[in-house]
Structure 1
Amino acid sequence: MAEKMLQFVRLQQRQPDKRDAGARRADWAEVYQPFAQEAAATQASRCSQCGVPFCQVHCPLNNNIPDWLKLTAEGRLEEAYEIAAATNTFPEICGRVCPQDRLCEGNCVIEKGFDSVTIGAVEKYITDTAWEKGWVKPPMPVRERAQSVGIIGAGPAGMAAAERLRTMGYQVTIYDRHDRAGGLMIYGIPNFKLEKDIVQRRQQQYAEGGIVFSMNVAIGQDITLDALRAKHDAVLIATGVYKARDIDNPGGDLPGVVPALDYLIASNRKGLGDSVPEFDSGALDAADKHVVVVGGGDTAMDCVRTAVRQGAASVTCLYRRDKTNMPGSMREVKNAEEEGVRFEWLAGPEAFFGEDKVQGVRAQRMHLGLPDATGRQQVEPIPGALFNLQAELVIKALGFDPEDLPAAFGEPALSVTRWGTLKVDYRTMMTPLPGVFAAGDIVRGASLVVWGIRDGRDAADQIHSFIQARGESPAIAAE
């Protein structure tokens, strides 16, 4: 092992080469070039193979990272893929969109003195190679089971649960109100972070494995939850959270002040070749406009970098805390800065102004005060410190809340928390309705793709236990 591993003492960390910022601004291709085999093996060999792998501990999926790094360093890529895929349903997606700087790489034990191992890039390399070599197979069970499971939502949690249940032999149908599977992976995350064919090939592969996709189906409108419960032995709700948080500022209803998700969905649909009237009219197109994005998370970074590629005249990110306290990935911030985005730290919107459409933002300078009960410093306005920003398009990227699912599904027995997320028994992941489970953001709140995968896989295991405990009984009778 010593010959192949622990090379961090002589080899420097190296991420895959980035494309030039000027070239990136002009297209939607991914930012990072793929690793060559030798570079991936070399970077993997920097792993210290530590006794307590904090990279694995801090990965929501508890991926066996040291194992597949060692196998990559030894050139045993097919085995490395098998190890990666054993715990992760979408390693090729996590390698692209996970904030590794806050998770695995940020907790690497060699980080302080030698810079962390390039875990995410190696994970992407392993899985991209697996797809090229044909090692990635549809989920095929050893034996078929008669019982069926209906899954509401084709996002990360729903797809991960479907794959795991299908591998166990269950008959699985995914219902989604959109026309493509993937949830925010297809409609929320821009191409320069996750190209859409990466997501679409998973849907095709799962269909080949026997998972049925019932698209353009809205539960509560096209089919009732009761009907699903009668049809399937168990139902999983994995709808995600799509309701945009808002701010109550004067002028917030002016044309040109739009929610982030509306903006991103329009851009992604246009990229997929759909007809998007709101984009074609210019309402959701940043071209030649001065754009202000309000927020500091990964969604805000997606918005500013999308606006750059649409040809905005200028792009400014307005965030009420400082750079250190920004919740988004620092790599995304750096990429945005390279691409010409201007950041106004410690500043928040006080009002939006304009006549018949937005023309600017009046912003308030802030400072960080004493910590609150959570330990985070409170944000306090600086009296009289106001300034104006020109803006023909203002994008509100303030996070997402759950929709009112009990009302949408016509099922008041689905109880919710004070945050609007579905209540479940956390040991079983079951809602108060027998046989109806919930997982992902609709339980956790808006979170990362990797947490959705984790929750979906866990829910699949609980559904399996529930069905097996009931034996070969027919589908659930709706109450």
Structure 2
Amino acid sequence: MGKKTGFMEYTREHVFEREPGSRLNDWNEFSSPYSDEVLRIQGARCMDCGTPFCHLGMEINGVTTGCPINNLIPEWNDLVYRGKWQEALERLLKTNNFPEFTGRVCPAPCEGSCTLAISEPAVSIKNIERTIIDKGFENGWIKPRIPTSRTGKKIAVIGSGPAGLASADQLNQAGHSVTVYERVDRPGGLLMYGIPNMKLDKKIVERRIRLLEQEGIKFITNTEVGKDISVDELKSTYDAVILATGAQKHRDLQIEGRDAKGVHFAMDYLTSVTKSLLDSNFQDGQFINTEGKNVIVIGGGDTGADCIATALRQKCNSVIQFSKHPELPMERTADNMWPSYPNVYTLDYAHKEAKTIFGTDPREYLIQTKKIEKDANGHVKALHTIQMEKIYHEDGSYHFNELPGTESVWPADYVFIAIGFEGTETSLADQFGVETVNHKIKASVGKYQTNVEGVFVCGDARRGQSLIVWAINEGRAVARMVDYYLKTVAV
């Protein structure tokens, strides 16, 4: 694959990013692809490694390893190296319904499992993937694929995130009639409102939705199943139902002062900003505005980083991100060997931006929030914290000890809670009568069938909070099972 000696001749080029000083003045995407020639050379670095772990698609110690949708990475790397972009697109679309999303927001576990990454920087897989699909749209290679015949079977998909969209796409191409229900005003789920525009331009999401509509999929927005339309009506209208509602039950802080004004879930903050941007370019004022304010983000993950980037664009006065875990090492540790995902120190786009503005990485590690202090009006005034140490056990488990004498008080005008999600909201599941376990809808891998006849589940609603590639994986897989069900059982 690629050039036989390319990995020895060429070095990795990282994604081209606009300078933080300039990109903070707008809400456009912060990154863009390199030229064809640069990417041709990057494709040449693919090693012909014999066993390409990049598309392995499994979990090691609970962490994703390789590509869960089994992208044919070496094949399209080779085609890009040889300048055959349209053929590369054909190979890419064999496994991935939405490369324009994964090429922008996937954390690229494929690169962590790249054979070259054992001793050198990995092949620039994610950037090549994004460029292939972008070229497909720019050159008109992406056209509506309208099924030539219909089966007469009707399917309702509840939820329009990546899992729901992938299942709808696959089933529509199989000739079934698919309707996607979304309770908010725009389709896309977290792709639309959970990821800020500078990371994933919403025109990219809207373009894909329009294409799916042209191909025959119907989208019904501002409609909450179980409230605006009954579960019984849905089940009587459709031959099968797919629950792709995601994991939207926020994990919360149970501490004194949690009810203070100015304390919000991170997703509520990000949603308000993106919706106002799309609705009115912020002219409606219907968003949480941190301009001139001191912001603290509780939670060390990607959503927390997105809150940092958003607050910086709003011209906040300061921003800090709290993480309960220690700072990651600069290189892999003995218990984090290849091909598992590399848990090493990196500067996310948001952290680079904060460092440019304030001079330091905004993250604070091994810190626990103990109390939220309010002012006389009930608004958040400060956070009270204590430092911790992480104690590891022989079986791999760990616990945290608080360190007396390390208490601190941090001024704050806004606090955003970004500590993840417990699972799916179970009210809809209860109305359908499907079984749930730990806020997840119960269904086995490979079957995706709930305990209720004709009702299936996929994505985060089944597996819990996860990656976009797992959502697409399960959307494609549940579509296969629903197609089989419609052809063999619901006849």
TM-score exceeds 0.5: yes
Could you tell me which residue of structure 2 aligns to residue 181 of structure 1? 187
Could you tell me which residue of structure 2 aligns to residue 394 of structure 1? 415
Could you tell me which residue of structure 2 aligns to residue 359 of structure 1? 381
Q: Which amino acid aligns with 1:145?
A: T
Select 2:232's aligned residue among 214, 219, 226. 226
Select 1:316's aligned residue among 317, 320, 328. 320
Deviating runs (4+, > 6 A) in structure 1?
Answer: 325-329
Select 1:139's aligned residue among 145, 153, 159. 145
Task: Mark the CA change 1:66 to 1:109 in structure 2 (over 3 Å): closer, same or farther.
Answer: same
Could you tell me which residue of structure 2 aligns to residue 476 of structure 1? none
Give the percent of matched residue pairs that are identical in Structure 1 and Structure 2: 35
CA contact (8 A) 2:424 2:464 kept: no
Q: Considering only aligned residues, what root-mean-square deviation do their CA atoms show, in Å?
A: 2.1
Task: Mark the CA change 1:330 to 1:198 in structure 2 (over 3 Å): closer, same or farther.
Answer: farther
Q: How does 1:194-209 map to 2 (within 5 A)?
A: 194-209=200-215
1:213 to partner: Cα distance: 0.6
Instruction: Choose 35-44 or 335-344, whichever is displaced more.
Output: 335-344
Q: How does 1:324-343 map to 2 (within 5 A)?
A: 324=328, 331=346, 333=348, 335-340=350-355, 342-343=362-363
For residues 404 and 297 of structure 1, what CA distance do their matches in structure 2 show? 21
For residues 193 and 329 of structure 1, what CA distance do their matches in structure 2 show? 22
CA contact (8 A) 1:424 1:443 kept: yes
CA contact (8 A) 2:389 2:402 kept: yes
Could you tell me which residue of structure 1 aligns to residue 451 of structure 2? 432
For residues 323 and 7 of structure 1, what CA distance do their matches in structure 2 show? 34
Q: Which amino acid aligns with 1:351?
A: K
SS across alignment from 2:440: coil
1:325 to partner: Cα distance: 8.1
For residues 295 and 31 of structure 1, what CA distance do their matches in structure 2 show? 23
Q: How does 1:394-433 map to 2 (within 5 A)?
A: 394-405=415-426, 407-408=427-428, 411=431, 413-417=433-437, 419-433=438-452
Q: Which amino acid aligns with 2:391?
A: G
Task: Mark the CA change 1:260 to 1:372 in structure 2 (over 3 Å): closer, same or farther.
Answer: farther
Q: How does 1:226-265 map to 2 (within 5 A)?
A: 226-265=232-271
Select 1:286's aligned residue among 283, 286, 290. 290
Q: How big is each residue's C-alpha offset from its partner over 1:348-407, in whole Å with a ceiling of 9 and x where there is no partner?
A: 21111122211111111111112385x2432221122101111100100011123443x3
SS across alignment from 2:321: strand
Q: Give the alignment's TM-score, normalised by structure 1.
A: 0.92
Q: Which amino acid aligns with 2:249?
A: K
Task: Mark the CA change 1:333 to 1:17 in structure 2 (over 3 Å): closer, same or farther.
Answer: closer
Unpaired segments ≥5 residues, structure 1:
474-479
For residues 328 and 338 of structure 1, what CA distance do their matches in structure 2 show? 22
1:411 to partner: Cα distance: 2.2
SS across alignment from 1:337: helix
For residues 333 and 17 of structure 1, what CA distance do their matches in structure 2 show? 13
Q: How big is each residue's C-alpha offset from its partner over 1:159-195, in whole Å with a ceiling of 9 and x where there is no partner?
A: 0001000111101110110111100000000111100
Question: What is the aligned length?
Answer: 464
Unpaired segments ≥5 residues, structure 2:
57-65, 331-341, 356-360
Q: Give the alignment's TM-score, normalised by structure 2.
A: 0.90
For residues 215 and 111 of structure 1, what CA distance do their matches in structure 2 show? 44
